[in-house]
């Protein structure tokens, strides 16, 4: 098929298959549909938040194929075939991930709006660098804005989680 | 008037104690689990069947007449349900709420003229937000540009076409008034010298991560609106929104969502509610209006203070501070929703912690073509703190006095409380010297001064700043109208309420009538109720009422919520405890005076094994009426509510010689940052940051510290990098987060040391004082002082914020050019 | 803030991408999208057609090819930033990555996409010019190569034609003993630079044989400051020559003013950062090979 035949008209849909938190979803989306809106509205997973929609605040951060990604700067069609992890897949209130438990312990959140983005970013960090120190943590979180906490307790929480995860 | 006659009696029923079971514990927050797993219910998460989405067409002009709107192409776009102009909206929707008197008219969609870039010119409801924005692109508007009013001092003399609200007169001055408290003239005559400065406090804003929004629906069967929104004050004055919508107050129910931060911005976020509801009525479908970030930065109605101060501090050569004169020009933007409430607020503590004898405040509030001001953490007092602290540092510099000594010399002393400042407000209690001493210790001040001396020899620019500031808490509504020239809406109630019940199984349910902002209302309530009734926190459930079910509740803001909700919980708990004691006494055949609450039960004093658990008592109360005393006033069940009024507030004098007591629960803080400046790049790095806050009795030290830290970082933003910058045409240059710079983790100190001193309030339950705003109210003057101290070798004074690298480098270059 | 509609082509290989580019005059390339999608969300960019090249794994590589480093245009920043091959062949690029955005953006953004976007405050264009990079452009008409110093024309403007796809960046290996430095000042770490300086220095017997100084934040594109290189080329490296170079750098630019930084400040930064960059580069001279 030549490229001309492949072109999808703006108003038509593209069929995509996205695995989110281990579950496969087949949907039809407009080319311009943002991954953030796909997650929040099409899949009804509203734990991923929109703070700016221009890639600065980090509230929309998810993992795509294990890598932290700003879902507001990704089209859903680009996630076709990808594995997405959102906050909803991290843990439950009865079975929290060490990161969630550590944020709770260390008061790493106040309003909770930036928190899912922080957690997913921290998850990537600790998977790659289980011995991350405070400097590593601060560097890793530098792309996630928080207006409530002043950040210190978020860093404390990630530090505690790293310790827990190393010990486990 | 004698102090006794002036100050009402304390209504405190719970005195501070040496130890508690739950109060004072850094308990993990009750709010957190659902937030941690991504199940917080924020406004944009609300999803109603058949819901439509809306977007606004934002004005590209700062000031213009709207001549013509052609919405035909937009309306023809598939998926568009409705395109509404300001004129059309005004047929069914009235002006938005405003406390200013006389009011300044604002509409959810501009009619006839636009008054700031970003103001809504039209609104679209469509099947989704994408289509709504496509439709906005298709709306054609013809404007006739008018002069853009941007400079606040120039705005004082606007006339003709430059006037934003001609129906108020041919001026942009919204309010001009001078108050003189005490013998200012005399005190200035006595002075040895006067420290005179011009200060510029820049416009910033709360800018929480979550924008403002609402989901509204209209039921044509009942004529009733339902609005889910992240605004506060829906149970205080939500009826004003009904008013704007042209329906009676009981035909509107507002359901609170969680708010993703507020810092004051969501105090009364009426516009998204009115807009969404207007579109819902027009389309016959639920409509969501969620600000995107540009909607927010350009039109949130919540920018912070934007002021010029011409300030004079009269002093004696021995360092005694005598009197303060300030001429203030405040740029309110295009509207005036809270009048000059921000200046009522500033009067509460404008003399700082010092024994200054008299104050004169001349205020000119001016309207310009910018987003209007709302509330931002400090609500105007943070600027007053900056001004007085800069003046005191100026005095110290001129006198060759140590910055710590001059403060200590002028502090109000512990034996002087309750203390009345010249404006009439009361400081309820405090020990400022103790806070200062604790901070000097915590910050290792002497050691840093020694290090500074060494580093200076190496040619490094190290600065240490000391700021000793007030952090008032629990505002009274009088601050919103005390400046008004004409009477109108002179409210004096600002309560907060809770409903409390215990179910037949002994579980407690507390209903809050105010929202969650990221403060910790559920945790505070659980701790206080557990303390009151010896319940297990795990047996307490906290929910939020809507406006249909709600009681009068002012909500968070002005650092009031912990104090107020504690008062309400105590009041409600007392009522239920009384009933439980009566029931227990009856069942146990004991005098209620011999009974106490202990370990979740009512037991005999001295014989705790003789007990009935609260669960058992509750079961009896609910189901066994005939086992209860016959008294008719004793009914089945265990439910109550309590509306807790402001613990101590009085009216301004009729002649305004004083403003009464309006913000008396007075916390205090000292901030000591240590910074280093790279004088070539103007970049600042933190070497140390220590602060001590006295917020009276602390319910949860961990969450209080969280507010302090968050506030300090907000303050760092205001001091070093945040400024909503409008150019000469009224274009907002930095509506995006790429250019409006919020501190990230790397711009925030990694170890903000926080200490506490506790001087309880004699007026609040347990002696609690509020502390939600303090961090932001202390950091800016402390940082300005530190920068000035660092650049002392160059003789630079700091009178303007933010201290961006560009500004600092400019000051340094100028100073170096002036040196031989 | 939602993007305007666009037609969409998902290319499975380079040929498809090239023919789609040729067939659609309004088509643009969608790589990482970290710059493009942001602009589209703001509706500052409304391309009629996007050609998604994210499947072109053939363009995602970092290879040592003799004396040259070959980076496939689709290489993600994260890979480039952490690559030991890049560190060996072009340590200047590795140093620049300290200043480039944040992790999530680096995970998706591509080296090629960033270069083609040509933001005047972007770091890699300066790195490319300083290291004498060549860009390989392909179209249905064939292949051509453009030197980095000829590639960046102005604000978001490059020498790439509409129907061309940047497929590879070739960088000559830094000569043995070459020192390098990347200095940048921004209000917050990771922000666009107010001013940035990329510098390389080749020394012999403590005298400078060759110097390259490239600035960002002073013009509509990265610019080489030839006049800054003159005072130190052939001279001994000391405070005098470094200062002269820095002064020449400052005098050669006419930077813009905006509310973040006025032109005087940018000039000051050019001076300070040039001096620091050359000094640091000098300190690294001779440590390799």
pLDDT digits 0-9 by tens, C146-185: 999 999 999 999 999 999 999 999 999 999 999 999 999 9
Name which of C104, C113, C187 to mutate to probe chain A: the one with the most chain A Cβ atoms within 10 A of its Cβ: C104
| pLDDT number for residue A3 | 52
Domains delineated in chain A: 11-89 (3.10.20.30), 98-167 (1.10.150.120)
Contact C10 A61 (CB under 8 A): no
Residue whose entry in the numeric block shows the structure tokens 């997913």: A120
Which tokens belong to A35?
Answer: 């991954």
Interchain CB contact of B701 with A (< 8 Å):
no
C44: nearest CA in chain A? A54
Residues of C in contact with A124 (CB under 8 A): 103
Q: Is C104's CB within 8 Å of A58's CB?
A: yes
Q: Which two tokens stand for residue A130?
A: 């289980």
Q: What is the pTM of this model?
A: 0.98
What number of other Cβ atoms are within 10 A of residue C224's Cβ? 17
Using an 8 Å CB-CB cutoff, list chain A residues near C16: 2-3, 6
- CA geometry: angle B454, B458, B462, nearest 5 deg: 65
Q: Which CATH architecture has domain B3-40+495-644?
A: 2-Layer Sandwich (3.30)
Q: Report the residue of chain A nearest B32, measured CA to CA.
A: A104
Using only C-alpha atoms, chain B has a radius of gyration, in whole angstroms, of 27
Inform me whether the pLDDT recorded for C288 exceeds 50. Answer: no
Neighbouring chains of C at 3+ CB pairs under 8 Å are A, B
CATH code that applies to domain B43-146+225-277: 3.90.1170.50
Which pLDDT belongs to residue C205? 74
In whole angstroms, give the CA distance from residue B701 to residue B762: 20
Q: With left for phi above 0 and alpha for psi between -120 and 50, is residue B319 left, alpha or beta?
A: left
Beta bridge partners of B323: B314, B358
Asked if residue C25 lies in contact with residue A23, where contact means CB atoms within 8 angstroms, the answer is: no
Q: Is A135 on the interface with C (CB under 8 A)?
A: no
What's the pLDDT score for residue C207? 83
B651: contact with A, CB 8 A cutoff? no
Full pLDDT tens readout for chain A, 168 residues: 455 568 999 999 999 999 999 999 999 999 999 999 999 999 999 999 999 999 999 999 999 999 999 999 999 999 999 999 999 999 999 999 999 999 999 999 999 999 999 999 999 999 999 999 999 999 999 999 999 999 999 999 999 999 999 996
Shortest CA gap A2–chain B (Å): 30
Residue B487 has pLDDT above 90, yes or no: no
pLDDT of residue B1: 58
Q: In what order do the strands lie in the sheet with C179-185?
A: C179-185, C195-204, C207-216, C223-224
pLDDT in the model for residue B626:
95
Chain A interface mutation, best of B33, B34, B37, highest count of A Cβ atoms under 10 Å: B37
> How many Å apart are CA B377 and CA B770, to the nearest integer?
13
Q: Compare CB distances from C1 to B137, B292, B813 and report the shortest one's residue.
A: B292
How many residues in total does chain B contain? 820
**Which residues touch B706 (CB under 8 Å, ≥6 apart)?**
A107, A110, A148, A149, A150, A153
Q: Count of CB atoms within 10 A of residue B27's CB? A: 20
pLDDT at B820: 64
Q: CA-nearest residue of chain A to C16? A: A3
What Rg, from alpha-carbon coordinates, does chain A have? 17
Q: Would the CATH topology of B43-146+225-277 be identical to that of B401-475+663-818?
A: no
Closest partner residue to A54 (CB to CB) among C9, C38, C190 is C38
What SS3 class is residue B488? coil
Instruction: Write the DSSP symbol of residue B625.
Output: G
Summarize the confidence of residues B709-729 as an average pLDDT.
Answer: 98
In whole angstroms, give the CA distance from residue C192 to residue B156.
37
Evaluate whether B351 touches B132 at the Cβ level (below 8 Å): no
> Closest to B130 (Cβ–Cβ): which among C2, C185, C188?
C2
**In chain B, domain spans:** 3-40+495-644, 43-146+225-277, 401-475+663-818
- What digits encode the pLDDT tens for the residues B391-429? 999 999 999 999 999 999 999 999 999 999 999 999 999
Beta bridge partners of B66: B143
pLDDT digits (tens, 9 = 90+) for B376-389: 999 999 999 999 99
Over 90: is that where the pLDDT of B715 sits? yes
What pLDDT sits at residue C289? 38
**pLDDT tens digit string along A12-21?**
999 999 999 9
Mean pLDDT of B630-642: 93
Question: Would you say residue B608 has pLDDT above 80?
Answer: yes
Query: What DSSP character marks residue B401?
Result: -
| Strand, helix or coil for residue C83 | coil
Residues in CB range of B381: below 8 A, 6 or more apart: B345, B346, B348, B349, B350, B470, B472, B773, B777
In chain C, which residues have their Cβ closer than 8 Å to the Cβ of B746?
A: 188-190
Q: Is beta strand B64-70 parallel, antiparallel or unpaired with respect to B113-114?
A: antiparallel
Mapped onto helix, strand or coil, the DSSP state of residue B555 is coil
pLDDT tens per residue across span B274-308:
999 999 999 999 999 999 999 999 999 999 999 99
Smallest Cα distance from A56 to chain C, Å = 9
pLDDT surpasses 80 at B430: yes
Q: CA nearest B321: which of B417, B194, B186, B436?
A: B194
Q: For B115-151, what is each residue's pLDDT tens digit?
A: 999 999 999 999 999 999 999 999 999 999 999 999 9
Chosen for mutation from A3, A7, A16, A35 (greatest number of chain C CBs closer than 10 Å) is A3
Proportion of chain B above pLDDT 90, given as a percent: 96
For B64-102, the pLDDT digits (tens) are 999 999 999 999 999 999 999 999 999 999 999 998 888
What separation, in Å, do the N-terminal and C-terminal C-alpha atoms of chain B show? 59
Q: Which residues of C touch B719 (CB under 8 A)?
A: none
- The answer to whether B746 and B716 are in contact (CB under 8 A) is no
A31/C contact by beta carbon, under 8 A: yes
pLDDT in tens, B764-775: 999 999 999 999
The mean pLDDT value for C81-106 works out to 98
Tokens of residue B496, six digits: 């907060």
Interface A-B: count of C-beta contacts within 8 A: 184
Round to the nearest angstrom and report the end-to-end CA distance of chain C.
52
Helix (H, G, I), strand (E, B) or coil at B73: helix
Q: Rounded mean pLDDT of B792-820?
A: 94
For the record, the structure tokens of B729 come out as 């045409």
Q: Which ipTM was obtained for this model?
A: 0.98
Percent of chain C beyond pLDDT 70? 99
Q: What is the mean pLDDT of chain C?
A: 96
A-chain CB neighbours of B49 within 8 Å are none
Distance of CA C55 to the CA centre of its chain: 24
Is the preceding peptide bond at B88 cis, omega within 30 degrees of 0? no
In whole angstroms, give the CA distance from residue B572 to residue B499: 7
pLDDT of residue B682: 97
Identify all chain B residues contacting A107, using CB atoms and an 8 Å cutoff.
26, 28-29, 702-703, 705-706
The neighbouring-strand residues paired with A62 are A69
Q: What is the DSSP letter of C193?
A: P
A65 — contact with chain C (CB < 8 Å)? Answer: no
**CATH class given for the domain over B401-475+663-818:** alpha beta
Q: What confidence tens digit (pLDDT) does each residue in B672-711 have?
A: 999 999 999 999 999 999 999 999 999 999 999 999 999 9
Q: Can you tell me the mean pLDDT for C30-46? A: 98
């Amino acid at each position: 098929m030549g490229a001309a035949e492949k072109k999808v008209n703006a108003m038509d849909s593209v069929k995509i298959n996205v695995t989110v938190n281990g579950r496969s979803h087949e949907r039809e989306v407009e080319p311009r549909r943002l991954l953030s809106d796909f997650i929040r509205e099409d899949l009804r997973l509203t734990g991923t938040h929109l703070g700016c929609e221009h890639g600065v605040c980090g509230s929309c951060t998810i993992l795509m194929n294990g890598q932290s990604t700003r879902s507001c700067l990704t089209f859903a069609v680009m996630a076709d075939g990808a594995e997405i992890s959102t906050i909803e897949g991290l843990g439950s209130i009865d079975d929290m991930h060490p990161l969630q438990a550590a944020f709770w312990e260390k008061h790493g959140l106040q309003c909770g709006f930036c928190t899912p983005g922080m957690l997913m970013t921290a998850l990537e960090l600790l998977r790659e660098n289980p011995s991350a120190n405070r400097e590593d943590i601060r560097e890793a979180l530098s792309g996630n804005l928080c207006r409530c906490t002043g950040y210190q307790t978020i860093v404390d929480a990630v530090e505690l989680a790293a310790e827990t995860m190393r010990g486990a | 008037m004698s102090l006794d006659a002036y100050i009402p009696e304390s209504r405190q029923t719970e005195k501070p104690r040496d130890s508690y079971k739950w109060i004072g514990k850094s308990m993990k927050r009750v709010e957190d689990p659902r937030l941690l797993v991504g199940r917080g219910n924020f406004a944009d998460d609300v999803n109603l069947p058949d819901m439509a989405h809306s977007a606004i067409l934002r004005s590209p002009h700062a000031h213009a007449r709207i001549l013509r709107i052609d919405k035909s192409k937009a309306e023809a776009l598939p998926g568009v349900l409705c395109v509404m102009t300001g004129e059309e909206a005004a047929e069914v929707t009235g002006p938005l709420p405003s406390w200013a008197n006389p009011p300044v008219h604002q509409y959810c969609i501009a009619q006839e003229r636009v008054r700031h870039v970003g103001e809504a010119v039209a609104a679209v409801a469509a099947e989704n937000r994408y289509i709504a924005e496509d439709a906005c692109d298709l709306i054609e508007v013809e404007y006739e540009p008018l002069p853009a009013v941007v400079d606040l001092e120039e705005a004082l003399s606007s006339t003709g076409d430059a006037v934003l609200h001609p129906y108020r007169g041919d001026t942009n001055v919204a309010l001009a008034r001078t108050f003189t408290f005490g013998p200012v003239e005399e005190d200035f005559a006595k002075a040895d010298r006067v420290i005179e400065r011009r200060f510029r406090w820049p416009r910033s804003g709360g800018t929480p991560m979550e924008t403002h929004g609402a989901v509204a629906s209209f039921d044509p069967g009942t004529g009733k609106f339902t609005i889910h929104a992240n605004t506060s004050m829906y149970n205080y004055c939500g009826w004003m929104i009904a008013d704007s919508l042209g329906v009676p107050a009981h035909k509107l129910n507002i359901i609170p969502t969680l708010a993703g931060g507020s810092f004051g911005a969501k105090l009364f976020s009426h516009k998204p509610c009115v807009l969404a509801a207007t579109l819902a009525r027009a389309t016959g479908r639920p409509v969501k209006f969620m600000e995107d970030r540009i909607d927010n930065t350009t039109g949130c109605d919540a920018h912070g203070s934007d002021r010029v101060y011409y300030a004079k501090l009269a002093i004696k050569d021995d360092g005694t501070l005598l009197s303060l004169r300030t001429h203030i020009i405040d740029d309110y933007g295009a509207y005036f929703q809270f009048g000059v409430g921000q200046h009522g607020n500033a009067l509460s503590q404008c003399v700082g912690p010092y024994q200054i004898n008299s104050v004169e405040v001349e205020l000119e509030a001016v309207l310009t073509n910018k987003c209007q001001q709302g509330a931002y953490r400090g609500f105007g007092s943070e600027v007053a703190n900056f001004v007085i602290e800069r003046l005191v540092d100026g005095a110290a510099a001129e006198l060759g006095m140590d910055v710590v000594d001059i403060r200590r010399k002028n502090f109000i002393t512990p034996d002087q409380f309750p203390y009345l400042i010249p404006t009439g407000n009361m400081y309820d209690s405090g020990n400022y010297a103790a806070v200062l001493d604790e901070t000097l210790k915590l910050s290792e001040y002497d050691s840093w001064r020694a290090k500074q001396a060494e580093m200076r020899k190496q040619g490094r620019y190290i600065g240490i700043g000391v700021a000793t500031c007030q952090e008032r808490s629990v505002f009274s509504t009088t601050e919103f109208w005390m400046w008004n020239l004409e009477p109108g809406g002179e409210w004096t109630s600002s309560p907060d309420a809770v409903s409390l019940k215990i179910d037949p199984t002994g579980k407690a349910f507390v209903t809050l009538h105010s929202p969650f902002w990221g403060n910790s209302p559920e945790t505070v309530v659980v701790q206080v109720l557990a303390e009151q009734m010896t319940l297990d926190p795990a047996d307490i459930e906290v929910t939020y009422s809507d406006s249909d079910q709600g009681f009068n509740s002012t909500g968070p803001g002005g650092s009031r919520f912990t104090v107020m909700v504690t008062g309400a919980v105590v009041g409600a708990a007392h009522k239920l405890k009384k009933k439980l004691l009566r029931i227990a006494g009856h069942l146990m055949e004991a005098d209620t005076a011999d009974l106490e609450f202990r370990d979740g039960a009512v037991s005999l004093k001295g014989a705790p094994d003789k007990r009935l658990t609260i669960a058992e008592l509750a079961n009896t109360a609910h189901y066994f009426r005939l086992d209860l005393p016959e008294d008719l006033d004793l009914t089945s069940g265990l439910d109550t509510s309590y509306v807790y009024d402001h613990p101590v507030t009085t009216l301004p004098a009729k002649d305004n010689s004083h403003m009464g007591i309006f913000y008396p629960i007075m916390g205090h803080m000292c901030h000591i940052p240590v910074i280093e400046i790279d004088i070539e790049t103007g970049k600042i790095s933190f070497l140390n940051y220590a602060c001590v806050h006295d917020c009276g009795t602390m319910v949860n030290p961990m969450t209080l510290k969280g507010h302090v830290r968050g506030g300090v970082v907000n303050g760092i933003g205001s001091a070093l990098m945040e400024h909503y910058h409008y150019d000469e045409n009224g274009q907002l240059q930095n509506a995006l987060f790429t250019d409006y710079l919020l501190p990230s983790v790397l711009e925030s100190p990694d170890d903000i040391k926080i200490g506490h001193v506790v001087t309880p309030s004699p007026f609040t339950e347990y002696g609690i004082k509020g502390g939600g705003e303090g961090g932001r109210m202390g950091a800016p003057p402390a940082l300005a002082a530190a920068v000035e101290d660092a650049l002392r070798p160059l003789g630079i004074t700091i009178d303007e914020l933010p201290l961006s690298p560009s500004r600092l480098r400019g000051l340094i270059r100028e100073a170096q050019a002036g040196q031989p | 803030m939602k993007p305007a509609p666009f037609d969409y082509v998902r290319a499975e290989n380079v040929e498809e991408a090239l023919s789609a580019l040729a067939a659609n005059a309004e088509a643009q390339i969608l790589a990482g999208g970290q710059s493009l999608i942001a602009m589209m969300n703001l509706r500052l960019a409304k391309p009629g057609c996007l050609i998604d090249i994210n499947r072109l794994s053939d363009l995602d590589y970092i290879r040592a090819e003799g004396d040259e480093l070959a980076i496939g245009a689709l290489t993600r920043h994260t890979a480039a930033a952490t690559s030991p091959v890049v560190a060996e062949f072009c340590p200047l690029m590795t140093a620049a990555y300290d200043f480039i955005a944040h992790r999530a953006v680096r995970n998706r953004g591509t080296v090629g996409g960033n270069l083609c976007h040509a933001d005047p405050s972007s770091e890699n264009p300066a790195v490319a010019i300083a290291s004498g990079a060549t860009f390989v452009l392909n179209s249905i008409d064939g292949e051509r190569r453009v030197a980095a110093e000829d590639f960046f024309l102005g604000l978001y403007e490059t020498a790439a034609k509409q129907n061309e796809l940047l497929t590879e960046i070739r960088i000559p290996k830094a000569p043995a003993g070459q020192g390098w430095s990347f200095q940048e000042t921004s209000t917050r770490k990771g922000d666009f630079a107010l001013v940035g300086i990329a510098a390389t220095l080749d020394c012999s017997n403590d005298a400078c044989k060759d110097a390259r100084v490239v600035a960002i934040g002073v013009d509509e594109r990265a610019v080489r400051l030839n006049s800054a290189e003159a005072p130190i080329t052939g001279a001994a490296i000391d405070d005098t020559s470094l200062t002269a170079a820095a002064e020449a750098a400052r005098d050669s630019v006419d930077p813009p003013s905006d509310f973040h930084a006025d032109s005087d400040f940018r000039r000051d930064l050019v001076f300070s950062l040039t001096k620091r960059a050359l000094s640091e580069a000098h300190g690294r001279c001779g440590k390799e090979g």
